[in-house]
Structures are given as structure tokens and as C-alpha cells.
Amino acid sequence: MRHGKTINHLGRTAAHRNAMLSNMASSLILHKRITTTVAKAKALRKFVEPLLTKSKSDTTHSRRTIFATLQNKESIKELFDAVATKIANRPGGYTRILKLSDNRLGDNAEMCVIELVDYNEALLDAKNAGEAKATTRRSRRSGKKASTDVAASGEAIAPAAVVETSAPEDTPTTTVEQGETRDEAKAADEEAAS
């Protein structure tokens, strides 16, 4: 049983695991998204999110403690300059794991993309478009609620033009009896009508 054992050792020694996670965290900060296995991405999330939280306070102490972990000057510069300003208002959850449909060819490992949430432009555009739309609850009362919402917003309400459409006129049908063609039945109906 593995009660309380929360660390995934990833089949590596502690030094190898820390070096790998440090390298992956630096790559994630520099490139904003990396492709890796699901197990490594979950371990990386637990490794990098406290670093991102610490980078919100740009002090010498926080820079030194993060540098002690990452050991990469370029990623430290990128982290405190660009990334920390984007995540300043976010209370956590800085990374997103998106599973890929294809597994790795060699060992059939599940693959995924781990990315910084604030840098995925496609999802941010979709979110902003969703916020721009007025999100109202749909009601079964179709006309009453919609007209009051528009009136409350202050827009001028133009009267709706009422267009009455009538059903097409009924066309007479002919009854075709056995052994009779349609033309013969039509001619017989016209003779009976006149």
C-alpha cells in the first residue's frame, strides 16, 4: 500500500529527479508550453507552481531562492519580467495540462502538453468572446423576458413589423382508380365538376 506517498519518484534518484524538474521548469518558463508525459507534467505542476507564486513578489530573496531551484539566469529574468506581471492577479492554477490523443511510439506513454494558462492566446480569445456575450438564463417565457432585458439596457426598441402569411390554397386532388391513368382521372374529375 502507498498510503500518504504523494511524490511520484518517476523512476529516478532524488538528484536526477530534481535536475530534470528544474530543467523542465526552465523550459516551461522560457517557451510557455512543453510536450511531455502525463506523469512528468503532473510532477512538474507541483514543482513549478510554488515558484510562480513566489515570483509575484519581486524581492532579492525570492529571486535568490528561485535561482537556487532553477539554476538558469535566462529563465529567472523571463519569470520575473514577463510571467510574473501576467499572473499577478491570478490566485493560483498557473499551468494547464492538455492530454494528447497519441501515445508515445516507443513505450506507449500517455503524452500531454503543459502550458502556462495566461499564454494560450486561442483559449484567452475564446474566453474574452464568451465574456463579451451577455450570459443570461434561458427561460420558457419567450417574449416577455427578452423585451424587458432590451428595455433595461437603454436601447431604443423599434416596433416589430407584423407580416401575416397565409397558407397556400388547397389544390384539388384526383382519385385514381385501378387501371386508370392520372390524366384519365383528371379528365373525369373535370367533366364531373362542370
| 157 domain residue, yes or no | no
| C-beta of residue 42 within 8 angstroms of C-beta of residue 97 | yes
When divided into structural domains, the chain yields a total of 1
| 29 domain residue, yes or no | yes
Considering only 46-50, 83-87, 106-110, 183-187, which range has the smallest mean pLDDT? 183-187
| 174 domain residue, yes or no | no
| 66 domain residue, yes or no | yes
| C-beta of residue 22 within 8 angstroms of C-beta of residue 69 | yes
Alpha-carbon gap, residue 138 to 143, rounded angstroms: 11
**Inter-CA distances, 38 with 45, 114, 145, 180, Å:** 10, 9, 47, 75
The predicted model scores a pTM of: 0.65
Confidence of residue 11 (pLDDT cuts 50, 70, 90): very high
Q: Tell me the average pLDDT across 117-135.
A: 79
pLDDT of residue 75: 96
Confidence of residue 176 (pLDDT cuts 50, 70, 90): confident
Alpha-carbon gap, residue 66 to 51, rounded angstroms: 6
| C-beta of residue 78 within 8 angstroms of C-beta of residue 30 | yes
Please report, for the domain that includes residue 111, its CATH number. 3.90.1030.10
% of the chain exceeding 70 in pLDDT: 80
Helix (H, G, I), strand (E, B) or coil at 38: helix
| 192 domain residue, yes or no | no
- Range of the structural domain that residue 95 is part of: 14-132
Q: Tell me the average pLDDT across 132-137.
A: 64
| 7 domain residue, yes or no | no
Residue 52 grid coordinates: 510562480
- What digits encode the pLDDT tens for the residues 42-80? 999 999 999 999 999 999 999 999 999 999 999 999 999
Q: Tell me the average pLDDT across 179-191.
A: 81
Does 32 have pLDDT greater than 90? yes
pLDDT of residue 70: 96
| 148 domain residue, yes or no | no
Q: Tell me the average pLDDT across 85-94.
A: 94
pLDDT of residue 154: 55
Confidence of residue 167 (pLDDT cuts 50, 70, 90): low
| 96 domain residue, yes or no | yes
